[in-house]
Amino acid sequence: MNGPLKKRRGAPEKIDARTLLSLRGLKILGVNPPVRDFAFMDLWSKPLGLLYILQALRADNEVSLLDCVAFAAEGEKSYGRAKIKKREIDKPEVYRGIPRRFNHFGLTKSEIMSYCTARDEPDVILVTSAMTYWYTGVKWIIETLGEIFPDAPVVLGGIYASLMPEHAALLGADYISCDRGEPPAPYPAMDLYGAPRYGVAMTSFGCPFSCKYCASNVLWPRYFRRPIGGVLREIDYQAKLGARDFAFYDDALLLGRDEFFYPLCRELRARYGGELRLHAPNGLHVRQIDAECANILFETGFKTIRLSLESIDPKVAHDGSSKVARDEYAAAVKNLLAAGYGAKECETYILLGLPGQDVESVKETIRFVRGCGGAPKLAEFSPIPGTPYFEEAARALPELRTEPLLQNNSVYCSYFSKSVTPELLQQLKDIARGR
C-alpha cells in the first residue's frame, strides 16, 4: 500500500506488519474489544500482541489504550485477576434456542464515549481480536468507534483476524492485519494500565507439536524460543510497575527445561526470592515433570499449574501428538504432590466433544485422573479454523466455515454437534467435581 492510512470504502485492504510498524508522528489508539459470550473469566487475559505493537510504535508516535475488558473490572479475584462487569444482551439469532443468558462483558457504550471524548481524536485505531466466536464484540466496538471518531481509519488484527480474514473483512474495518511473527518490542506496553495487577510473559511462540485440535501451528508456523535475558527484561519491567503475579502464555513452557526453563527459574529466585506468584494456565507438558521439575516449579513460586493430559483414549492421545502416557501422568502428579502441591492444584485438562470421541472414554479419563490424585478439568472442544479437527467437524456441520458463533466451545458439543446432550455434559461436570 502507498501513502498514509485513511478511511476506505468497500472491502478493507490488507496491511503487513512492516507497514504498520513504520507509522510515524501519529496519535494511535489501541483497542481490546468487549467480550460477548455466555461466560467469560479473566484468566490473566491481556491483548499481548497489541501491547507489543503499541510499545514498538510509541518511540515515534503517541499511543494510548482502551481495554474494554480490563477497564471494566468491578471486583477482585485471586492472584491479581478481576471480576469483569457484565450485562445481559439479546442473543444472536443462531443462539436463540439455547436456554442460557448471553452477556456483554466490558465497558458500556456510554463509558467508552466518556473515555474517548476526554482524549484527542486518534489518527489510527488498532483493534485486536481473540476468539473467533467473540467477533460480535469486535463488530460492536468498530461501529461504536466509528460513531465517535468517524475520520479515524481502523486496523483489525489479532487471532480471529488471522484465522478467518475473509469473515473479519465484513466487520467494517479499513485494514486487516494477519501478520504474526516475533515480538516487535522487548516488552509489552503494560504501563498503559497504570499499575497492572498482574504481568504477562511468553518465553516462546508456537509449539513443536502438531495436535489436531490446536491452532498454535496455524498462528505460529515456526516455533521459536526467546533468549532468557529478553524474558527477564520483560518480567523486570512489569515488576517495576507493581505486578507480583505473572502468567506465562506459552504453549510449551517446559520444553528445553534444562537449557532454558531451569536457568530462568534460578534467575527469578535470585532476583525476587518468593516475591512473585507465577501461573501456567495453558497447560504444562506432563512428560517433563519429574521430581526435580516439580520441586523447581514449587520453589520458584508457580501457584497455578494446569496439566495437559487431554485423554487416555489411544486415538485422542495420538491426535494430541502422544505427549503423555498414563504412567507418565501418574508419576508427574506424584512428583507434584511430593513437592508440596495439593490435589486441587494439580488441575488436569480433559478434552470433551471431539469429533467421534467416545463419551465413556471421557468418564474413564476423569476416573483415572482422580485415581492418580489430580483434579479433572473438562475442556469443551472448540473447532478452530485451520486445524484437522475443524475440517472433520465442518464436514458434519458446514456452517462452521461461515459462522464463527458455531465454534463457541461453551455450546458447540452440546447444541450444535450434539455429541453430548446438555444433561450428559452436566453429568460429566459433576463427575469431574467429585459429586
71-102 pLDDT, tens digit per residue, is: 999 989 999 999 999 999 999 999 999 999 99
pTM above 0.75, yes or no: yes
pLDDT recorded at residue 88: 98
The answer on 215 and 171 residing in a single domain is: no
Q: Establish if 214 belongs to a structural domain.
A: yes
The answer on 95 and 152 residing in a single domain is: yes
The answer on 295 and 406 residing in a single domain is: yes
CATH of the domain at 242: 3.20.20.70
Going by pLDDT thresholds of 50, 70 and 90, the confidence category of residue 1 is: very low
Q: Which of 176, 210, 243 is where one domain is finished?
A: 176
The answer on 411 and 268 residing in a single domain is: yes
The answer on 220 and 167 residing in a single domain is: no
CB 252 within 8 A of CB 208: yes
How many C-alpha atoms does 72 have within 13 Å on its Cβ side? Answer: 24
Predicted confidence (pLDDT) per residue in 139-198, tens digit:
999 999 999 999 999 999 999 999 999 999 999 999 999 988 889 999 999 999 999 999
C-alpha angle with apex 294: 333 to 238, nearest 5 degrees? 120
How many C-alpha atoms does 405 have within 13 Å on its Cβ side? Answer: 17
The answer on 255 and 170 residing in a single domain is: no
Q: Based on the structure, what is the number of domains in the chain?
A: 2
The answer on 297 and 208 residing in a single domain is: yes
The answer on 106 and 216 residing in a single domain is: no
Helices (DSSP H) in 273-387: which residue ranges?
291-300, 314-319, 326-339, 359-372
CB 38 within 8 A of CB 101: yes
The answer on 217 and 171 residing in a single domain is: no
Predicted confidence (pLDDT) per residue in 244-271, tens digit:
999 999 999 999 999 999 999 999 999 9
The answer on 170 and 208 residing in a single domain is: no
* Distance, CA of 121 to CA of 162 (rounded, Å): 27
DSSP H or E segment with residue 265: helix 262-272
Q: Which of 146, 176, 206 is where one domain is finished?
A: 176
State how far the alpha carbon of 276 is from the alpha carbons of 23, 153, 272, 301, in Å.
Answer: 36, 40, 7, 7
Q: Establish if 2 belongs to a structural domain.
A: no
Q: Establish if 192 belongs to a structural domain.
A: no
Residue with cell 526453563: 261
For the chain, give the mean pLDDT: 95
Q: Establish if 342 belongs to a structural domain.
A: yes
CATH of the domain at 116: 3.40.50.280
The answer on 40 and 71 residing in a single domain is: yes
pLDDT recorded at residue 298: 98
Residue 398 pLDDT exceeds 50: yes
Q: Which of 143, 176, 209 is where one domain is finished?
A: 176
The answer on 245 and 204 residing in a single domain is: yes
* Distance, CA of 284 to CA of 105 (rounded, Å): 29
Cell matching residue 66? 482502551
* Distance, CA of 268 to CA of 275 (rounded, Å): 10
Enumerate the β-bridge partners of residue 347.
Answer: 306, 375
CB 244 within 8 A of CB 80: yes
Which is nearest to 336 in space by CA: 299, 377, 311? 299
* Distance, CA of 326 to CA of 314 (rounded, Å): 10
Predicted confidence (pLDDT) per residue in 290-346, tens digit:
999 999 999 999 999 999 999 999 999 888 888 889 999 999 999 999 999 999 999
Instruction: Give the domain extent around 296.
Output: 198-433
Total Cβ atoms within 10 A of residue 45: 22
Q: Establish if 127 belongs to a structural domain.
A: yes
Q: Establish if 7 belongs to a structural domain.
A: no
Residue 2 pLDDT exceeds 50: no
3-class SS at 262? helix
Which is nearest to 345 in space by CA: 288, 291, 290, 284? 284
Q: Establish if 1 belongs to a structural domain.
A: no
Q: Establish if 314 belongs to a structural domain.
A: yes
Cell matching residue 301? 513460586
